[in-house]
Amino acid sequence: MTGSPKPIVLLLGEVLHATKEWDELAGIAELRQLNHGNRKQFLKNCHSGVYRGLLAISRTYDSVELTGRFDQELIDLLPQTLKFISHNGAGYDQIDAEACANRGISVSNTPGAADASTANTAIFLLLGALRRAHVPATALREGRWRGSMGLGHDPDGKTLGILGMGGIGSAFALRAATFGFDIQYHNRNPVVHSSSNPTKARYVSFEELLRTSDVISIHLPLNDATRGLIGRKEFRKMKDGVVIVNTARGKIIDEEALVEALERDKLFAAGLDVFDKEPEIHPGLIKSDKVVLMPHVGTSTVETQRKMELLVIDNVRNALQRGSLLTPVVESRKSRM
């Protein structure tokens, strides 16, 4: 007699830092991989039954190049046997998690694993923006010493407004406090547990945060409520000379409005790791000497990438062995209630 066939797991993209742990899953699952192709081919394969019998998908952030967004069109073509998607990333806007929940597919992300690295990147961008560090750094490499560098600003005593006091926001607050900031924050609701607000930052309304902050740092997920949250109206409410930092998602800020605010000196500077149409960058941001730019590398450290991959693998293993994900996203948690 032959045993029951192993459940099938499809890896979209590459595992680079936890290969041993991924390979060990072969003891309990049939592992398949897709690391080339495009959305058209993926949809065709789904439609023709190439992935028939699939139980779980493990996907990387960059695998969106292979499949496109997991939207309603794609989700409708996934095999009925698929029950789990383990996503590598804290943000999961590449997946329509609500549509997945309606299909009975649970989705997980990697909360916590990316907190420190992303918070460190935000601090780097914050300090760089306060000094407009791009100007002297570029001049130095071009043999012009400091170039046309002006004076920057110290963080001490400045009011820092944090939009989103989740894991990354609270990790950022903890680091920012050491620089002497007076910290306030806005969430949909005030945080209840002290561990989520280690600096005892005060809760303020969205309007008050915009109006009173010297620096605003964005740590929100991208969803229908936050898309375009910061636009022309919001910039007009801010202090003159405000500094903006964004390591969350580019689409939270209206980039046209951001460029306009920089050009008319409403903003002193900005530090950006994310953009509206990545990998395209708005020309106004490229040419501005007030912006510190990084190409969405907030989690690009060996240690963080390994932590994220391990959590993705742990989610897959738990799905295979216990029928549930360790870190389901909120839409998946709601569907089980």
CA 190 remoteness from chain centre: 22
Q: Which residues are catalytic?
A: 249, 278, 296
